Every structure is written in C-alpha cells, then in structure tokens.
Amino acid sequence: MATPENPLRGLDPDQREAVLHESGPLLLVAGAGSGKTRAIVSRIVRLVRDGVPPDRILGITFTNRAAEEMRERVASALYAGSSPGTGEGRDLPWLGTFHAFGARLLRRFGGRIGLSPGFVIYDARDQFDLVRQILKEKNVDEKKFSASRFLGRIERTKRDGEGSSVLREAGGWAFAGKAEEVRIAYDDALSAAGAVDFADLIRLPVRLFREHPGILEAVRGEIRHLLVDEFQDVDAGQAELSRGIGLGAESFLAVGDEDQSIYGWRGGSAGPMLSFERDYPGGRVLHLRTNYRTRAAILSAAGEVIRKNRSRREKRIEAAREGGDPPVVRQYEDSDDEAAGVAGAVAEQIRKGASPSSIAVFYRVNAQSRPVEDALRQAGIPYILRGALSFYDRAAVRDAIACLRWFVHPDDPVSFARLVKAPRRGVGEVTLARAREAARAAGTPFSAELVKIPRLAGLLEFRDRWAAGLPARKVGEALHAALDGSGYLAWIGDGDGSGTEERSGNGKEDSRENLQELLRIANLFPGSGEEAVCAFLERISLSPGEEEEGGEAVRLMTMHNAKGLEFETVYLAGLEEGLLPHSRSADSESEVEEERRLFYVGLTRARERAFLSFARRRSLFGAFRDTVLSRFLTEIPPSMVRWHVGTSRTPRGFARSGTAAPWRAPAIVPAAEPSPARPRLVRHPMFGDGVVEAVEGSGDDRKITARFPGYGRKKILVRAVRMEILY
C-alpha cells in the first residue's frame, strides 16, 4: 500500500477533533455544507495510517452514490494516485448502505433463522408486482384497495411493528382485515420463492442479533471501528443495528444533522440523534460549526426558519463565505405564470454565463414539475428530471434482469411471470395462478408445477442446459446466453416491444440500446459462475434509481431528491400552505417541523443565489383555489429577503423593490382566547370553510375535528396551522 496522504491537512479545528477521536461513541452534529464527508474520509484514512486493518472498519451511508463517492475518496487518499483495484477486497474498508450490509450479514448467517444463502432480493417493483398478483388471486378490487396501499402497510408492519389496531384506525375494519390476509399471503409467497424484500434486509439482521447473541459478538469482534453517516434519518431497525455493533466497537462515529431529517414518511427519525447521550453512556457530542457551501445571506435566512423547530439541538452555523445576495421572493398569479417566471429567470442566469447544470428548480411534489417542464421547453432550455424513470426501471432492463434471475432461481414466480410475457409463450395468468396454488397446496416448489405445462417444455429444457454450463460462464456471457436462449433477443430485434409495460422513448430501438448497456455493465462485472451472477443481481437490486445523467442541463427535482446536492443557483417553487407545509402535515406539529426541515434543506442547497416563489391561485384537485403564503416565508425576517414583483401585484406589506417592509402574516389568525362555546366553523388555508364536529383539549393544544366540502372529515391541531376559528 502506498503511503497515505496526511489526513489532517486542510481540516478546520472541529473536523480535526472528529478525525483524531480515539475511542468510544462520538456524535458529530454536521450542519449543512460543513464538510462532513471530508471528516469521515479523513478519519478512515487516519485509522488505516495508524495501523488499523481496513477490514476492521465499517462505514455505512444511505445511498449507493454516497458510498461510491466515499469509497473513491478513501481509495484516492490511501493509495496516493495508484489504483487499488475494485476496492472490494481487503485493501479498503467495507463502505455501503444499511441494506447492503444487511444482505451481507444474511448471506453469512441467515441459515440460523431458516434463510437460504441464495435468497433473492425483491426490489420495490417486484414487491408491487407480487402484491398485485395476490390481490388478483384473492379477488380484491384494486380500485377500492390499491396494491400500493397494501404494500405501504406491509412495509410499516415490518419496519415499525404496526398491528391490527393501527390498521383499523388508518383504513377501517374492512381494510384491516384484508391487509392482514394479504400480508400473510405476501410473506408466504416470499418464503416460497426464497426471497426477501428491502424491509427484511434490516428486520432480519436485527432478529438475528436478538436471537443469536453469539453472532452479534462475532460481528463485533470483526468490526472495531464503525462510522454511520446521515444518522438523522435512521429508522428504528437501523438504529438498533448501529447500537448493537457500536456499543461493542473501539470507536463509533455517528454523523448527522437533525435539522436535515426529512424522511419520516419512510420511518426515518432524528430521535436516535437526540437521545445519543442516553443510548451511548459516555458518548461525546461534537459540532461542525462552519458552512463552506452557502453564502452568509442565504444561510442566515435559512437559520431563522429552522430555529423555530423545537425538536433540535441548539446550534449556530457560521458561513465561511460571507456576504452574498439575500433570497429573492417572487409572487405570481398562478402556477403557469410562476413556471414562465422561473424559466425566464433561468434563461437570464444562463445569458449571464451560468452553466445550466449549476441551476436547479425544487418543488414539494412531482406534479408541480409539469408547468416548469413546459416553460423550459418553450424557452429552449435543456433540463433533466431527477427522480424520473431510472435505467434499472426501464422495461427492457427489467425484462432482462427477470430473465436472468429466474434462470438462477427457477422458483421465483414474480420473475417468471414477467419472463413469459416477453415474448409471449401462450401461458396466461390463469395458468400461472393455478401453478402457484398447486405448489402451495402440495408444499412443492413452483418449478415442480411448471414442468406440467406443455408449452414451457422447450424453455425449461434450455434452462437446464444453461445451468449446466453456468460454472464456466462470466456474468455477461451468462446474461447473453439466457436472453438468447429464451428468445428475448430475437423478440427485441424483430418484435414491436409490446407485451410488457410502457416503454419510454422510441420503442424497440430504445429497448435495444438499454439492453446493450446492461450487457456492457454485466461484461465488466468480475467473476464467473452462479456466485458471480447472484452478486450481480444483488448489486442491481440494491442500487435502483440512483444514476445521474450528466450534461449541461437544468436539474428539476423534489426537495427530498435534493438532499446531499448543491448548486450555484436554486429556485424553490410553490411555497404555499398546503404544498409546503403539505396539507397532510396540517394536524401534526412534528410533521410540520419535518416540512420546515425540508424547506431548510432546499434553501441550503444554494451556493450563491436563491429564488423563492409562490402563486396567488393554484389548480388543486382539478379546480383553482386561492392560496396562502407558506408560513416558512413569513418566518424569515423581512430584512433578510428581497421582494421582486412577478407579473402580479405585490402582497400587502411588501415594498415594490429592495428589501421588504415590515409586514404581518396573511390574515388567517387563530382566536386569541376561545369562547366558552364550542366553535362552529373553521377557515382552513387548504380545505376552506369547515363545520366543527368535535373539539379535544383546550387552547393551542386543541384538536378540532371538522368536515370540509370536497375533503371530508379532518382532525387538526390548532397550533400547527394558521386557521381562523369562528364561534
């Protein structure tokens, strides 16, 4: 190994202290743009330089892209320009996601809880297809109970242990009964296919450690130094995995910022950060206090908003880059007017010399992108929609992966159902459903029933020959042989690409190009035989939807997708009550706080310039409604923003140019003191006028249940929303 570069070079005092931390648990509270990745990489390099074997270090982060970036930076620092190879051997620490680490544990120890080491990993689309399959078999009306709704409940049950009482409260008795029936069938189907889903990759290792303490001790003996990034977004299972290993390690570095915890909807919580000292006796807390990304004017405005949250550590982040322009706030007449204004402003930035790829437009929900896309197209401005259909979700790619996976795992009914549709083989869903039911009833593998279907004889015979030749084949060769022998290559070359879900782009030509790219990726994958093919399939299952297309183009994305990125200029659109904060958060103070964190994350992606906009009227649920300015804009002191008039009038209290004049929030104010009588009506910024049906509690802690025309019954926490109350 080459001599590692000095890991302390260029660090500030806070980063240096984190890198030199010797032993025990340390929580590194790393504010936006504070150089946390640099601190993590430097710490790993310092440990290796001081003699710690790389394979005794475990680094966990939340995305494959972040893990790859960290791996490259560690390799570059350790090897000083020489090539360390793939980085998958013992010459580099293991760096990856929680789910990849969970899969690694289950491959080694899953047999202790009855799991085959050759298990299949079902990604989100596979899980959806399986639930739809179950709903059809059970004659459940998907118009009434959608597959995505059932799947969400299954995931929450696995992740959070939600029981039938929670299901009844959330969806009613009818849904709760069906959800439990579908969940049992779903788990049985996974077991029969030898498959696990993403939730299992966390849940099962936790179970493994609980039921077999000896395995936990063995893992602790191997991992002497643990580093976990994005600790503010761990769910309960991930927190338990971290704690199980971290309490036995020589050192544990948890890195995060509760002000950027924005994934509560998928189980993430800043709770483990806020309880760190209690969970890790003797643990220390260190703050990275310098933001190297955002200009002081923007950072100060963002700080004024986020300090309104209660569930946070008090902190002060200083900007290394002083000065700069304050955020500009613009009002527009409607969403189309706003989109045209944003496109015009983007065009002006580009005319001044800005690179299109240095500009981003953020919004709260994907539906907001349509008018922005139209406006950019009309202006001739190239853009990339981040979070759209990823490479591995494209139809031809999913077809090919399903084909390869079934060839390796012939008892996988989800992959086989896709395989027989591309090309079609005269075997329909009814026949496959009978085969699945016969296998369940007889307790036999799914593949044992397939041999009884005459139309599949040729395919099954070829699969046997393919399996016999697999040990000598590299991954790319195995994939090509499977696609060729199954008839897929000929179908893609000669057919019209019908038979599976919609293809994006230009039909079969795009399908062929996507297939060629997949084969190129497979040809680069190391190893041969079944083990290498299974590793290739696992890599794909664990890395969906993360690739980023390059090129000079403006980036469009939701604020959730903006996490971890930075741009010279950002536009935050649709800053209105009901969008940000979202209407679903209106009756929960904790959810409003998460929405505030989302606004903070969006604003702190900007390096130089930030533009904030809202519309006076917006089309919601097919009808235009008057909007109310987002409370988060009102939380920024007027002296810290500049108001620029769009194509419509200036809101009351704002000057027409320069900085804003002192002003009051829009006239939606809760009553100062409630009348002894129960309120009759409420006027909600999103739902309009509603008739009060019940009141719980008193003062600002009251929860009011009201029925709104077109929206139904809503329970609303008074202090969480600006709402007029009428007595």
Predicted confidence (pLDDT) per residue in 269-328, tens digit? 999 999 999 999 999 999 999 999 999 999 999 999 999 999 999 888 999 999 999 999
Residue 546: pLDDT band (50, 70, 90) is low
Q: Are the CB atoms for 576 and 629 separated by under 8 Å?
A: yes
Rounded percentage of the chain residues whose pLDDT exceeds 70: 85
* pLDDT of the residue at 346: 94
Q: What tokens does 606 get?
A: 């900007």
Of 664, 122, 155, residue with least CA distance to 398: 122
What average pLDDT does range 417-426 have in this prediction? 88
Lowest mean pLDDT among 12-16, 342-346, 426-430, 547-551: 547-551
CA distances for 677 relative to 674, 681, 699, 716, 718, angstroms: 8, 12, 13, 18, 16
Percentages helix, strand, coil for the chain (3-state, rounded to 5) are 50, 15, 35
pLDDT exceeds 50 at position 647 = no
| CA angle 130–162–147, rounded 5-degree value | 25
Residue 545: pLDDT band (50, 70, 90) is low
What average pLDDT does range 574-598 have in this prediction? 89
In CATH terms, the superfamily for domain 391-495+505-543 is PCRA; domain 4 (1.10.486.10)
pLDDT exceeds 70 at position 399 = yes
Q: Are the CB atoms for 256 and 239 separated by under 8 Å?
A: no
* pLDDT of the residue at 322: 92
Of 299, 292, 256, residue with least CA distance to 275: 256
**CATH class name, domain 13-82+89-105+201-292:** alpha beta
Q: How far apart are the first and last CA of the chain?
A: 76
pLDDT exceeds 90 at position 167 = no
Residue 565: CB atoms within 10 A of its CB come to 15
How far is it, in rounded angstroms, from Cα 696 to Cα 688? 21
pLDDT exceeds 80 at position 10 = yes
Of 701, 688, 698, residue with least CA distance to 583: 688
pLDDT tens digits for 319-366?
999 999 999 999 998 888 999 999 999 999 999 999 999 999 999 988
| CA angle 294–297–300, rounded 5-degree value | 85
Q: Which residue has the higher pLDDT, 500 or 193?
A: 193
pLDDT exceeds 50 at position 656 = no
* pLDDT of the residue at 174: 54
Q: Which residue has the higher pLDDT, 492 or 189?
A: 189
Query: Would you say how long the chain is, in residues?
Result: 727
State the burial class of residue 146 (Cβ atoms within 10 Å of its Cβ: 0-12, 13-18, 19+): middle
Q: Which residue has the higher pLDDT, 398 or 80?
A: 398
pLDDT tens digits for 499-529?
444 444 446 677 888 899 899 889 999 999 9
**CATH class name, domain 307-388+550-645:** alpha beta
How far is it, in rounded angstroms, from Cα 231 to Cα 403? 37
Active site residues: 36-37, 229-230, 260, 605
Q: Which residue has the higher pLDDT, 648 or 118?
A: 118
Q: What tokens does 437 get?
A: 């039911």
How far is it, in rounded angstroms, from Cα 499 to Cα 398? 13
What average pLDDT does range 251-261 have in this prediction? 95
What average pLDDT does range 476-505 have in this prediction? 72
* pLDDT, the chain, mean: 84
How far is it, in rounded angstroms, from Cα 351 to Cα 345? 10
Q: Identify residue 558 by its one-letter amino acid code.
A: T
How far is it, in rounded angstroms, from Cα 87 to Cα 59? 13
Residue 468: CB atoms within 10 A of its CB come to 9
Of 726, 723, 707, residue with least CA distance to 715: 707
Q: Are the CB atoms for 417 and 429 separated by under 8 Å?
A: yes
What average pLDDT does range 186-205 have in this prediction? 93
Q: Which residue has the higher pLDDT, 203 or 265?
A: 203
pLDDT exceeds 90 at position 109 = yes
pLDDT exceeds 70 at position 622 = no
How far is it, in rounded angstroms, from Cα 343 to Cα 337? 10
How far is it, in rounded angstroms, from Cα 358 to Cα 553? 8
CA distances for 665 relative to 144, 317, 634, 638, 662, angstroms: 41, 27, 6, 11, 10
Q: Are the CB atoms for 291 and 236 separated by under 8 Å?
A: no
CA 387 and chain centroid, separation: 10
How far is it, in rounded angstroms, from Cα 377 to Cα 379? 5
Strand runs labelled E in 504-602 = 554-558, 567-572
Q: Identify residue 601 by its one-letter amino acid code.
A: V
pLDDT exceeds 70 at position 58 = yes
* pLDDT of the residue at 620: 60
Residue 124: pLDDT band (50, 70, 90) is confident
Q: What tokens does 350 get?
A: 């580009």
What CATH fold (topology level) applies to the domain 120-193?
A: Arc Repressor Mutant, subunit A (1.10.10)
Q: Are the CB atoms for 592 and 382 separated by under 8 Å?
A: no
Q: Are the CB atoms for 608 and 569 separated by under 8 Å?
A: yes
Question: What is the helix (H) or strand (E) element at residue 184, kind and residue range?
Answer: helix 164-193
pLDDT exceeds 90 at position 702 = no
CA distances for 616 relative to 63, 334, 501, 577, 706, angstroms: 37, 6, 39, 11, 25
How far is it, in rounded angstroms, from Cα 310 to Cα 259? 10
Q: What tokens does 537 get?
A: 């399939």
CA distances for 185 relative to 146, 161, 526, angstroms: 16, 17, 37
Q: Which residue has the higher pLDDT, 61 or 701?
A: 61
CA 258 and chain centroid, separation: 17
Q: Which residue has the higher pLDDT, 711 or 408?
A: 408
Report helix, strand or coil for 495: coil
How far is it, in rounded angstroms, from Cα 109 to Cα 105? 6
Q: What tokens does 69 get?
A: 């970036």
For the CA atoms of the chain, what is the radius of gyration? 27
* pLDDT of the residue at 714: 80
| H-only helix segments in 80-163 | 98-109, 124-137, 147-160
Q: Which residue has the higher pLDDT, 648 or 452?
A: 452
Of 326, 368, 341, 334, residue with least CA distance to 646: 341
What average pLDDT does range 704-724 have in this prediction? 75
Q: Are the CB atoms for 440 and 187 separated by under 8 Å?
A: no
Q: Model's pTM, two decimal places?
A: 0.81
| CA angle 707–711–717, rounded 5-degree value | 60
State the burial class of residue 416 (Cβ atoms within 10 Å of its Cβ: 0-12, 13-18, 19+): buried
- Give the largest Cα separation in the chain, rounded: 83
Of 601, 558, 547, residue with least CA distance to 33: 601
* pLDDT of the residue at 650: 39
What average pLDDT does range 640-651 have in this prediction? 62
* pLDDT of the residue at 719: 74
